[in-house]
Amino acid sequence: MRYFALFLVLCGCVSLGEPLVRIQNVSPNVDLDIRYATDNNFTGKKVYPAAVCGLRKSVADRLAAVAREFEAMGYQLKVYDCYRPLSVQKRFWALVPDERYVANPAKGSRHNRGAAVDVTLVDKSGKELEMPSAYDDFSEKAHRDYTGATPMALRNKEILEKVMIHHGFVGLPTEWWHFDAQGWEKYPIEDIPLEDIR
């Protein structure tokens, strides 16, 4: 029985520890634009069967606090991606085998652990704020240290980053939209179907 339980964990059939939850159930005001559930992404194809933002419960709680702070500032948080099944990570790596932008599935991604988010800001009318690049831009324009954007885009990026850091998230150097939750390494890599997250 013990070996069977270990097999279930290793195959990604069950998760140990903190569960994955839907952000909508923790913070209903977060705006979802799950790009990989559409064809509006770098693959040009729909790769998620459902527009689900799954996160570890404590990570979802942190993101809810981020959303509340932005609401007080007159903004709304928009989420592009959250938990990503390992099987999808393998597909992404086959398309873009560059660790600056796509995690090697042999090591696993922070997204595969339910401890990373891709986010931006929108105004009260739902319009995205100007940022240095589009989402999933695989160029230096997406890098956090890129200074060639407009002053407004740089200001918006700084606002996003400051609040995310305040609530325990760390930005990826090559993607202004990507933030890892501190403590991500304690969570196992998963391949749980998105539809199974409640």
Catalytic-residue membership of 71: no
pLDDT at residue number 1: 44
pLDDT at residue number 35: 97
pLDDT at residue number 151: 98
Strand order in the sheet with 175-181: 31-32, 76-81, 116-122, 175-181, 169-172
Selecting among 175, 185, 190, 195, the annotated active-site residue is 175
Q: Please tell me the distance from the alpha carbon of residue 59 to that of residue 29, in angstroms, as a whole number.
A: 16
Phi and psi at 93, nearest 5°, equal -65, -35
pLDDT at residue number 2: 45
Of 70, 97, 48, whose CA–CA distance to 105 is shortest? 97
Q: Where are the beta strands (DSSP E) in the chain?
A: 20-22, 31-32, 54-56, 76-81, 116-122, 169-172, 175-181
pLDDT at residue number 140: 97
User: Which residues of the chain register pLDDT less than 50?
Assistant: 1-16
pLDDT at residue number 13: 41
Residues 67 and 77 sit within 8 Å (Cβ to Cβ) = yes
- Residues ≥6 apart with Cβ < 8 Å to 138: 42, 96, 98, 101
pLDDT at residue number 87: 95
pLDDT at residue number 14: 43
pLDDT at residue number 106: 93
pLDDT at residue number 17: 73
Q: Which domains does the chain have, with CATH numbers?
A: 15-124+179-196 (3.30.1380.10)
Q: Please tell me the distance from the alpha carbon of residue 31 to that of residue 15, in angstroms, as a whole number.
A: 27
In SS3 terms, 105-123 reads as CCCCCCHHHCCEEEEEEEC
SS3 category, 50: coil
pTM equals 0.89
pLDDT at residue number 44: 93
Of 6, 7, 111, 103, whose CA–CA distance to 56 is shortest? 111
